[in-house]
Amino acid sequence: MARIAGVNLPTNKRVHIALTYIHGIGRTSAKDIMTKIGHVAKHADDYPRLNEMSEEDLTKVREIIDTDYEVEGDKRRNVSMAIKRLLDMACYRGLRHRKGLPVRGQNCKNNARTRKGPAKAIAGKKK
């Protein structure tokens, strides 16, 4: 298993997918990283698997991630600090975070079960 940014990456997956296991790196960022180290692919099957990559390529990937990207602990800390700032400010978005409701204008009357949690039964509703 390759270890990058403190995360064990699956060796049998293609590199651009394996890199998405790191918090803060998505598909686009992973493809950008691969382009920077010289692996340009027109199709997803053109990327090598992680166990097929050389050690020097993995070292280059580690260096690029360390210098150019905010990942794992730093990313999580900055996101939680941004949310805490909104809560302390008591702005609309902060209040929505505090109540556990959707923050970005989504409908929450009929939807938003992920954010609100399981439905709670209302007493006396049965006929």
DSSP string, 56-85: HHHHHHHHHHHHH---HHHHHHHHHHHHHH
Mean pLDDT to the nearest integer, 5-13: 90
pLDDT digits (tens, 9 = 90+) for 39-56: 888 888 888 999 998 899
pLDDT of residue 125: 62
pLDDT of residue 102: 94
pLDDT of residue 1: 76
pLDDT digits (tens, 9 = 90+) for 77-125: 999 999 999 999 999 999 999 999 999 999 988 889 999 999 888 877 6
Both tokens of 88, joined, read: 């302390």
List phi, psi (to 5°) of 4. -130, 130
What is this structure's pTM?
A: 0.78
Q: How far apart are CA 121 and CA 112, in angstroms?
A: 16
